[in-house]
């Protein structure tokens, strides 16, 4: 596995070593031991999630607050997305900055999203199967987010706004500037 640092401290892109031949391909998608060697600390994933979406669907920008904050390891099993993370850690030198990357079933890249980040993605292919591991359980009372078209963040989602499909719940998320001091 090759590891690429992003401009946001602690957020990493993982490139698996892929073995291909005339039968297809094989790669190790996760090794707890190797993952912790790369991070330099222990992460205990406790929940795996999958979603299916069609072109233009935008999910995010989501995070969980307080004791239910989650680190995530995200990847695409089929299709293509633009994946976006926002640093919400007040003591971070990259607080309020975002990073985006195309994840797809061709490049097989994974993105590690540490606790203290908002996360979202928009589907760029006709359909996508999205997979993520979480190091904490989902808690409905702790869920929060930032509206996808926040003017301060100014994220380029690579699609025209009229082509983006957002849930009514996500359209009601607060702006970055109105987030409480503690998340």
Residues labelled catalytic: 62, 132
Terminal Cα distance for the chain, rounded: 32
Q: CA 99 to CA 86: how far, in whole Å?
A: 7
CA distance 93 to 114: 15
Lookup: tokens for 145: 């987010």
* Total Cβ atoms within 10 A of residue 95: 13
In contact, 49 and 131? CB cutoff 8 Å: yes
User: At a CB cut-off of 8 Å and minimum separation 6, what does 179 contact?
Assistant: 88, 146
What does the alpha-carbon distance between residue 55 and residue 159 come to, in Å, rounded to a whole number? 10
């Amino acid at each position: 596995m090759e590891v690429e640092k992003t401009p946001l401290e602690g957020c990493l892109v993982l490139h698996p070593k892929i073995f291909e031949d005339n039968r297809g391909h094989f790669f190790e998608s996760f090794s707890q031991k190797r993952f912790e060697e790369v991070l330099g600390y222990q992460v205990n994933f406790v929940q795996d999630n999958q979603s299916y979406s069609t072109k233009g669907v935008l999910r995010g920008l989501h995070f969980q607050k307080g004791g239910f904050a989650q680190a995530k390891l995200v990847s695409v099993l089929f299709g293509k997305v633009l994946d976006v993370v926002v640093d919400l850690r007040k003591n971070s030198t990259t607080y309020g900055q975002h990073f985006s990357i195309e994840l797809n079933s061709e490049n097989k890249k994974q993105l590690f999203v540490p606790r203290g980040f908002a996360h979202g993605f928009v589907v760029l292919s006709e359909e996508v199967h999205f997979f993520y591991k979480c190091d904490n359980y989902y808690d409905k009372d702790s869920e929060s987010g930032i509206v996808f078209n926040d003017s301060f963040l100014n994220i380029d989602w690579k699609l025209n706004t009229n082509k983006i499909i957002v849930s009514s719940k996500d359209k009601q998320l607060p702006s970055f500037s109105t987030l409480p001091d503690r998340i």
